[in-house]
Amino acid sequence: MRSPLRRRGRRRSRGRRFADAVWVVALFVVLTLAAAWLERYAGEEISGPVRVVDGDSLVSGARRFRLKGIDAPEISQQCERGGAAYPCGREAAAHLRDLARGDVACVSEGRDRYGRTLVRCRAGGVDLNQAMVRSGHAVAYGDYRVAEAEARAEKRGLWAGTFAQPAEWRAGRAEPERWSLVDLAIEQAGALWLALKSWVSGGREVG
């Protein structure tokens, strides 16, 4: 006669296998949807004139873009230099406006949770993302750590005085667009997807 405990153990084992199968299917669906999302939004080439919103945000027509891997002071943010306050947010926007004159060429690397396309851009042969950090008008946010170290060592821009990190400044004022580790993960997903596509294609152009 079979023991009730043995029967319950077998039922539990079957239930566990079924649950594992459900998890595998769910994971496959999530990965498929994520791949489709990244395929749609990563790798797009965008070019033309843009309007600067702040030190890391651009607009072209109805589309909104944010420079990937950097974080600039908010437009109303104040910083300190030489014992006096100054509008570092407006200064950052003005610097990006000078860099982004004429046509700008960008490559997308996904979208953030606010619907903005994440981009790396160039204008006049200059990498805008890197230039903003290297000049001290933005801080590194996942990328451009070497450029930030140079700006800090040379006391350029923000590093010439004292300032609150843009993310901390937003958090202290309950700004609606508060960034977190979730945003940083989203930022890096697009770059990883493009790198994977390049690796799979053997370094060839992929479309």
At 71-86, the pLDDT tens digits run: 999 999 999 999 999 9
Q: Which two tokens stand for residue 144?
A: 């451009």
Burial of 100 (0-12, 13-18, 19+ CB in 10 A): buried
CB atoms within 10 A of CB 134: 20
Tell me: pLDDT of 94 over 90. Answer: yes
Tell me: pLDDT of 102 over 80. Answer: yes
Confidence band, pLDDT 50/70/90 cuts, at residue 172: confident
- State pLDDT tens for residues 47-76: 999 999 999 999 999 999 999 999 999 999
Average pLDDT of the chain is 80
Between the CA of residue 58 and those of 33, 67, 108, 174, 194, what are the distances in Å? 28, 8, 13, 23, 22
Give the range among 27-36, 67-76, 187-196 with minimum mean pLDDT: 27-36
Relative to beta strand 42-48, strand 104-111 is antiparallel
CA 176 to chain centre: 17
CA 149 to chain centre: 20
Confidence band, pLDDT 50/70/90 cuts, at residue 42: low
Confidence band, pLDDT 50/70/90 cuts, at residue 207: very low
Q: Which two tokens stand for residue 196?
A: 């994977």
